[in-house]
Amino acid sequence: MRIRKGDEGPLDPFLAWMLKRAGLQPAAYRSGAMQRRICACLRKLRVSSPCSARELLERKPELLPSVLNTILIGVSEFFRDPPVFDYLEKTVLPELLQTRPRLRVCSAGVSGGQEIYSMAMLLAEAGALNRCELLGVDCRADAIRRGYAGRFYTEDMDGVAPVRRERFFRPVAGRWEVSAELKKQIQWSRQDLLDLDAGGACDLILFRNVAIYFNNRHGDEAWARLCDQLVPDGFIVTGKAERPPASLPLVRVGPSIYRKIAR
């Protein structure tokens, strides 16, 4: 996705300060979209101006992670965009599993974990989970903590078919907890995707609904970095409204699914 006019300008100084405190690169983010989140951020801190918000965060830095949640919204769903997961299940995974002894799968911008757990369910159903390493990466500590815990409210479970709920979840204290079978194959890492080190080449990367946060230059850089971490012939999956820069050796092979080709 290319950015709109109004998203190009510099970031509001308070937002820039906050992202920097969170270890992120303010210059990477689209200003317009972020600007619209300031009110939510002030509401969360119960203050009336960015100046008071900064003062409060300087006094109480422990509030930063929850405020970051209001800026970098982590909306996600299990099996989000079903045609994409259908194609992964029926076409991409069978080929990868047939041609490679082990698979590495990364969800870049994993949020609360729905995406990487969806992949883990598909791999378990294919009888291949124990030869797969899965990695969930996000810049928000809260997202990583929630993903690792793997506990979801009933309203988060809409995308999970009853047969999967039965097999991969159990009710715990009013929520649905992911089974140990899935959890044990997944590593979690708090990292900035712009400096991502996936710890080895990946066969499949999900990079969905994250590039929309970045301005053109940094979005392209994030794509290039992820493409570098893909094995030749590996796959990368985008969000519905996203597509990789044309300069990268990626060809579209399915709905929002691209494959790395040799050049």
In the list 30, 164, 183, 208, the residue contacting ligand SAM (rule: CB under 6 A) is 208
At closest approach, how far in Å is the CB of 239 from ligand SAM? 6
At closest approach, how far in Å is the CB of 226 from ligand SAM? 11
Three-class SS of residue 156?
helix
At closest approach, how far in Å is the CB of 228 from ligand SAM? 16
At closest approach, how far in Å is the CB of 129 from ligand SAM? 20
At closest approach, how far in Å is the CB of 48 from ligand SAM? 26
Nearest to 157 by CA among 138, 148, 143, 170: 170
Closer to ligand SAM by Cβ: residue 104 or 208:
208
| Distance from C-alpha of 62 to C-alpha of 141, rounded to nearest angstrom | 12
Q: Pinpoint the alpha helices (H) of the chain.
A: 13-21, 31-35, 38-45, 50-59, 64-71, 82-87, 93-99, 114-125, 141-149, 162-168, 180-183, 216-228
Count residues contacting ligand SAM (CB under 6 A)?
22
Q: Do 34 and 11 touch, CB atoms closer than 8 A?
A: yes
Closer to ligand SAM by Cβ: residue 33 or 45:
33
Q: Do 199 and 135 touch, CB atoms closer than 8 A?
A: yes
At closest approach, how far in Å is the CB of 164 from ligand SAM? 17
| Distance from C-alpha of 115 to C-alpha of 80, rounded to nearest angstrom | 7
144 counts as binding ligand SAM under rule CB under 6 A: no
First CA to last CA distance, the chain: 24
138 counts as binding ligand SAM under rule CB under 6 A: yes
| Distance from C-alpha of 35 to C-alpha of 109, rounded to nearest angstrom | 21
**In Å, how far are 10, 57, 75, 192, 222 from 32, measured between CA atoms?**
9, 23, 19, 21, 20
In the list 11, 115, 182, 185, the residue contacting ligand SAM (rule: CB under 6 A) is 115
Burial class of residue 25 (count of CB atoms within 10 Å of its CB; 0-12, 13-18, 19+) = middle
- Of 46-54, 135-143, 166-174, 253-261, the window that binds ligand SAM (rule: CB under 6 A) is 135-143
| Distance from C-alpha of 157 to C-alpha of 250, rounded to nearest angstrom | 33
210 counts as binding ligand SAM under rule CB under 6 A: yes
In the list 57, 72, 129, 198, the residue contacting ligand SAM (rule: CB under 6 A) is 72
- Of 53-61, 107-115, 160-168, 225-233, the window that binds ligand SAM (rule: CB under 6 A) is 107-115
In the list 139, 144, 204, 227, the residue contacting ligand SAM (rule: CB under 6 A) is 139
74 counts as binding ligand SAM under rule CB under 6 A: yes
Binding residues for ligand SAM, rule: CB under 6 A, are 24, 72-76, 80, 109, 111, 115, 138-140, 143, 192-194, 208-210, 213, 239
